[in-house]
Amino acid sequence: MDRAFWRIPWAQQTAEMYALMEARVLRAVQYHVVTWEPADVSEMAIRVSLSAATQRPVQRATALPAFLTGTYRERLRYLEPQTYGEPYRIRTRFLECTD
């Protein structure tokens, strides 16, 4: 009987953790979206649409921030940090656009 009920507190704690992350952590993250808007769509229309979709303020950036700090050695499937304590970075597939 104990085996069946040990999961209930664990599931409740997991739900509480995700609620806390949604309320605090995910709201603190900065998101960057790169767009190539058509000539017939105004910048304000895109900003209003993105703000409504994300429920967050939208600002135009003049430059993208550096996503990786420190130096890394490129491996086949990940980036290996050269400085002790830096996190490993997992590479994803890059899409190439060709004509």
pLDDT tens across the length of the chain (99 residues)? 556 666 667 778 888 888 887 777 666 667 788 888 888 999 899 899 988 988 888 888 888 887 777 888 888 888 888 888 888 777 655 555 555
Residue in this structure with the two tokens 């806390």, named with its chain if needed: 20
Q: The pTM is what?
A: 0.45
Backbone angles phi and psi of 35, in degrees to 5: -125, 155
Domain limits, the chain: 64-94
